[in-house]
Amino acid sequence: MNAIQHRHEFVFLFDVTNGNPNGDPDAGNLPRLDPETNKGMVTDVCLKRKVRNFVALEKGDEEGFSIYMQERAVLNQQHALGRKAVGLDKETADELKKLPKDEAKARELTAWMCRNFFDVRAFGAVMTTGVNAGQVRGPVQLAFATSVDPVLPVEVSITRMAVTTQREADEQSGDNRTMGRKHIIPYGLYRLHGFVSAKLAERTGFTETDLSLLWKALINMFEHDRSAARGEMAARKLFVFEHESAMGNAPAHTLFETVEIQRLMGEGDGPARSFKDYAVEVKRDRLPAGVMLHELL
């Protein structure tokens, strides 16, 4: 199947209620914040992880949709699969660290990795660790998601009514309660900008089927990512800008500016607590020539 022919950009809106969309391990797992504006942030890596997880659930063991960057995956073993598939599994340790001198063979190896791993085909990968399988720049790129308004993380005290060992039980003299902390955001609406390059898709073989799967993953990924910290996260809107050409017909930022989000305020209104507190409007009359807008959600 041929690679996509048209460049795309997209605006994705999602929200969180009483949860932590992306904890910062350097700050005691507090929700990530822009320290100058107090707006919430969710990293591209966090969102790509959710896309990968959805694809793994949706496609299972289907050929061509394996996930390269899995939890506890040994990447060199993934690279070794590719080298074996193209007949490069009899090499010495020093030879494994380098791409084959035969350029055609090196391209075949990297192409095999793209063909078999969805996330390599979509996001790219640096596959040069120990066992070398090349380097790929992916057509799908995500920015950091940022909340529309400032958010206020809240620290909540929690208790555990059990202990892990008999010794702890004895030391607590019958009172098994253990205090803990968790951090939540009461409500936050986040906006993500994304990019899909048709020219880079030619290099990885990213197809229309892959593109449709990406949209499906964005719309549904929170439905399979529930946890105590992320119980209420929801995809709200997905606006996709499709260019008529592979190179594109307008700068991405001019397209993003056509999607406007306004806080609906009434007398005595406090902070936003639901998606209904916002109005989302697309200025379709400002769309440049050669660009089509698809509202997928």
Angle at which helices 103-116 and 75-85 cross, to 10°: 120
The answer to whether residue 159 sits within a structural domain is no
Of 130 and 122, the structure prediction assigns the larger pLDDT to 122
222-237: average pLDDT? 89
Q: Model-level pTM?
A: 0.89
- The pLDDT confidence band at residue 268, using thresholds 50, 70 and 90, is low
Q: Which among 120, 281, 253 has a CA at the least distance from the CA of 128? A: 120
10 Å CB burial of residue 287 (0-12, 13-18, 19+) is: middle
155-177: average pLDDT? 69
Q: Quick check: 191 and 261 in contact, CB under 8 A?
A: yes
- Cα(170)–Cα(161) distance, rounded to whole angstroms? 14
Which phi and psi (to 5°) does residue 208 adopt? -60, -35
Which phi and psi (to 5°) does residue 112 adopt? -65, -40
Q: 265: domain range?
A: 8-152+182-295
The answer to whether residue 174 sits within a structural domain is no
Angle at which helices 208-220 and 44-59 cross, to 10°: 110
The answer to whether residue 2 sits within a structural domain is no
Q: What is the pLDDT of residue 157?
A: 75
Residue 158 pLDDT exceeds 80: no
The answer to whether residue 220 sits within a structural domain is yes
Residue 246 pLDDT exceeds 90: yes
The answer to whether residue 93 sits within a structural domain is yes
- The pLDDT confidence band at residue 82, using thresholds 50, 70 and 90, is confident
What's the mean pLDDT when you consider all of the chain? Answer: 89
The answer to whether residue 126 sits within a structural domain is yes
pLDDT over 70, % of the chain: 92
Q: How many domains does the chain have?
A: 1
26-55 residue pLDDT tens: 888 889 999 999 999 999 999 999 999 999
217-224: average pLDDT? 95
The answer to whether residue 160 sits within a structural domain is no
- The pLDDT confidence band at residue 266, using thresholds 50, 70 and 90, is low
Of 160 and 195, the structure prediction assigns the larger pLDDT to 195
- The Cα-based distances of 290 to 156, 215, 241, 255 in angstroms read 50, 21, 10, 12
100-120 residue pLDDT tens: 777 888 889 899 999 999 999
The answer to whether residue 273 sits within a structural domain is yes
